Chains A and B, each alone.
Chain A
Amino acid sequence: MIRLNNIHKSYEMGSSSLHVLKGIDLHIEQGDFVSIMGSSGSGKSTLLNILGMLDNYDNGTYHLSGNLIANMSEKKAAKLRNEMVGFVFQSFNLISFKNAMENVALPLYYKGVPRKKRNLIALEYLEKLGLKEWANHMPNEMSGGQKQRVAIARALISQPKIILADEPTGALDSANSYEVMDILKEINDDGITVIIVTHEHDIAAMTSQIIRLNDGRIHEIIRNGELKKFQKSYIHGLETA
């Protein structure tokens, strides 16, 4: 599904350059539920952006569903994003002057679905996420949890293969955080690959695979069976802190 091979990425910062990713090799299968962890500056967001074709990489190869993702035109990248990937952001990134339904329907606009039809589909997705009554509300009339659910509905409406979530619970309280994670889990159960970036251990612990980044490299990959051990070390980490 996703195959990264020796990915390098550096940012030009004036005269110096910041080497953020220093050779990432990663293999994520269809239907995985993966979290990417790491301290700030470890390159986790950069990795997610490269996965989501929001950013390009300098060296290495990235195959998505067998297609090499490299040197694509913006137009082609946009099309692939639209077809393959759904994004969920920490700050929700809903368009403030569109109501919930219109926000959810927007990806279908870029797919060329007629207005009536896409609004109908948007309503279906909002209903799935329990927000049908909120369809005509503007984002600023909704709570953080509701906004994030709208954002998830928007990510889902184009029926992507992958959901990429950058700190999806970062702006939410724990009750809402768990609710959002439950929704992501359900989405994953439908066979969609879900990749989240988080720095919260309890959130990461709900996924089936944790990728820990450290200084631009993969520090460790903790798979499902080893999660218990991870949880133990997480508690240990809490105790020492």
Chain B
Amino acid sequence: MFDIDIWQEILATIKKNKMRTFLTGFSVAWGIFMLMILLGSGNGLSNGVAANFMNDAVNAMWIWNGETTIAYEGMKTGRPIRFQNQDQEIVSKVSGVGVSSGRYFMGNTRYSYGNESGEYTTITCQPALKEVENLIMNEGRFINQIDILQNRKIVVIGTDIKTALFKDSTALGEYVNINMVPFKVVGVCSEPGSTRNRNAYMPLSTAQMIFNGSNKIHNLALTINASTLEESQAIEEQIRTALGKQHKFDPKDEGAIGLYNKLENYIQTMKIFQAIKIFIWIIGIGTLIAGIVGVSNIMLIVVKERTKEIGIRKAIGASPSSVIGLILLESIMITTIAGYIGLVLGTGLMEMINYFMMQSAGPATDQSETIFMNPTVDINIAVYSTLLLIIAGAFAGYIPAKRAASIKPIVALRDE
């Protein structure tokens, strides 16, 4: 079946029937091309939005203190809730909570080094914050547990602070004065998806000791281990209950503590994207079906058109299987090549769009907000859909080809 002769025969036929070949090929190439563009755009959109979420850990949760709004156990409303170090322990004991970090706000703090100085935000925290906020270490290290235990006077500064204070010289190992207290710089970091990196990170324990924090914290940042909306809401509930018990407020009191559950948000957005993806797939499958119908139509016409030729071939000794084989191999060859062309053009276009978007975003691609990213299609999907079209084309050709091959040659010959 795969001897060179049959291919020469097919090539000769294709060469002599350019229009027919073009039409068959075009409908296949177009179908695949459109599918690639649709799926690519969908993926690009969904990748872009997902990437924005990745700026922090998707399972991040922030808790901050507030005032009670519901009277509880004989106490009036409007009572402020103040977090202390032990609240972090309470929260971290809630099942489903991953890493956690307490935070103490210091407000604006003055940083100076040599002749340079500036006001920046100092975030006091524990090592876990790096994981919660997905901080990127450009140089050095982040705060570690020993820093916390030994109340070390170290600081991790944002890239903008480093540029402002140190220009091109190295910052690591240097001492900066923070509100007139010298701290050793141990790392330079940046935040993903942000163009401003004006935060500095300092061990919580050090800050509490030096800047009159005693055991106060303002805020808790943590990660939770949940995969569904219900799970994450259950964890939320448990945290409220645990803190309510500690601080004597109604767990249902939304005002006593503020809570932002990123995972909830993420899951909801991903659900929307799943819906969009399903929608895109429906359109894509529609396009594919249109392509299949197109190929099938053309194959029907091709076989009809070739009925007489089939009769001639049979009269001079072609077996039915060789006739079917000839038609099928031709259609498979055309659809394969055309499908491949559509695939290359479609993915090529999406890659080009991707390339130009990267170019226009410049070096800050990592840092900028984008809703369209990496608009490419899974190669498996691309290959499978091409295969599907090829098979559909072959199948669409097979039925009429088989019928034509089983027609008595004399009937086929009479066909005009």
Chain B 318-339 interface 0/1 with A at a Cβ cutoff of 8 Å (1 = within):
1111100000000000000000
With beta carbons under 8 angstroms apart, the residue of A54, A75, A114, A158 that contacts B320 is A75
- Asked if B410 lies at the interface with its beta carbon under 8 angstroms from chain A, I say yes
- Asked if B342 lies at the interface with its beta carbon under 8 angstroms from chain A, I say no
Residue of A nearest to B321 (CB): A75
* A109:B9 contact, CB within 8 angstroms: yes
Chain B 378-416 interface 0/1 with A at a Cβ cutoff of 8 Å (1 = within):
000000000000000000000000000110111001000
Among B10-18, B126-134, B216-224, the one that faces the other chain is B10-18
CB within 8 Å of B: which of A155-183? Answer: 158
What is the distance, in angstroms, from A219's C-beta to the closest C-beta of chain B? 23
- Asked if B308 lies at the interface with its beta carbon under 8 angstroms from chain A, I say yes
With beta carbons under 8 angstroms apart, the residue of A49, A78, A86 that contacts B319 is A78
* A95:B309 contact, CB within 8 angstroms: yes
With beta carbons under 8 angstroms apart, the residue of B309, B322, B408 that contacts A55 is B408
Number of inter-chain CB pairs below 8 Å: 69
CB within 8 Å of B: which of A95-133? Answer: 95, 97-98, 102, 106-107, 109-112, 114-115
Q: Among B8, B16, B314, B316, which residue has the most Cβ atoms of chain A within 10 A? A: B316
Number of interface residues of A (CB under 8 A): 30
Q: Among B308, B319, B322, which residue has the most Cβ atoms of chain A within 10 A? A: B319
* A81:B317 contact, CB within 8 angstroms: yes
Interface of B is mostly: helix
- Asked if B152 lies at the interface with its beta carbon under 8 angstroms from chain A, I say no
* B12:A110 contact, CB within 8 angstroms: no
Residues of B near A83 (CB, < 8 A) are 317
Residue of B nearest to A154 (CB): B316
* B308:A74 contact, CB within 8 angstroms: no
Contact of A74 with B320 at beta-carbon distance under 8 Å, contacts A89-B413, A115-B5 already known: yes
Contact of A97 with B16 at beta-carbon distance under 8 Å, contacts A54-B409, A110-B322 already known: yes
- B interface bracket (residues with beta carbon within 8 Å of A): 20 to 34
* A78:B413 contact, CB within 8 angstroms: no
Contact of A93 with B319 at beta-carbon distance under 8 Å, contacts A98-B12, A109-B5 already known: no
* B316:A81 contact, CB within 8 angstroms: yes
* B410:A78 contact, CB within 8 angstroms: no
* B5:A107 contact, CB within 8 angstroms: no
* A55:B410 contact, CB within 8 angstroms: yes
Residue of B nearest to A82 (CB): B317
A79 to B318, CA, bound (A): 7
* A107:B317 contact, CB within 8 angstroms: yes
Residues of A near B229 (CB, < 8 A) are none
Residue of B nearest to A87 (CB): B315
Chain B 272-314 interface 0/1 with A at a Cβ cutoff of 8 Å (1 = within):
0000000000000000000000000000000000001101111
* B410:A75 contact, CB within 8 angstroms: no
Chain B 76-97 interface 0/1 with A at a Cβ cutoff of 8 Å (1 = within):
0000000000000000000000
A81 to B410, CA, bound (A): 13
Residues of B near A82 (CB, < 8 A) are 316-317
A89 to B412, CA, bound (A): 13
What is the distance, in angstroms, from B327's C-beta to the closest C-beta of chain A? 14
Chain A 130-167 interface 0/1 with B at a Cβ cutoff of 8 Å (1 = within):
00000000000000000000000010001000000000
List 19 interface pairs A-B (beta carbons < 8 Å), by A numbering.
Answer: A55-B410, A74-B405, A75-B321, A78-B314, A78-B318, A79-B319, A81-B314, A81-B315, A82-B317, A87-B316, A89-B413, A93-B311, A95-B309, A107-B316, A107-B317, A109-B5, A110-B313, A110-B322, A112-B5
- Kindly list the 6 A-B residue pairs having the minimum CB-CB distance in the complex, ordered from nearest: A82-B317, A97-B16, A110-B317, A75-B319, A78-B319, A54-B410
